[in-house]
Amino acid sequence: MKLRSTVGASLGALALVLSTAGSAQAAQGEFHYKYVDGYGKEHRVTLHDPHGGKCINLHAVGDDEDLPGYGPHNATDAAVTVYLGAGCQGPEWRLRAHGKPAKDTLEVRSVRFDAPLAE
């Protein structure tokens, strides 16, 4: 009986560790930006819990041949650097965690969220 409860407790602890390890790599919250498609229609894109520490080329604007996105809003718990160029290249701007929406004049093609600090 003692062995069964020890194994159960160990498996529970392992499940807890594994479940928190995956979330440590993601910024919690949402990041938004806007873009205009080839027909002149404006779209708003949302990234949910984006991965931290790696470059993300944004949908529909993440190529230097595309028109850039604009008006980014970082509502995540991690700071983010937004880049005018694809592949996190070119002029960059820092947006703090849980910040206010940037003006539409701030253009963006790629982003890199800070990796969350380990607790």
Digitized pLDDT (tens) for each residue of the chain, 119 residues in all: 454 544 444 444 444 444 444 445 899 999 999 999 999 999 999 999 999 999 999 999 999 999 999 999 999 999 999 999 999 999 999 999 999 999 999 999 999 999 866 55
Query: Would 14 be classed as within a structural domain?
Result: no
Neighbours of 68 (CB within 10 A): 22
pTM assigned to the model: 0.78
- The C-alpha torsion from 66 through 101 and 45 to 22, rounded to 10°, is 110
CATH number of residue 34's parent domain = 2.60.20.10
What's the total number of domains in the chain?
1
Query: Would 8 be classed as within a structural domain?
Result: no
- Residue 74, exposed/middle/buried by CB under 10 A (0-12, 13-18, 19+)? buried
- Domain membership of residue 107 as a residue range: 27-113
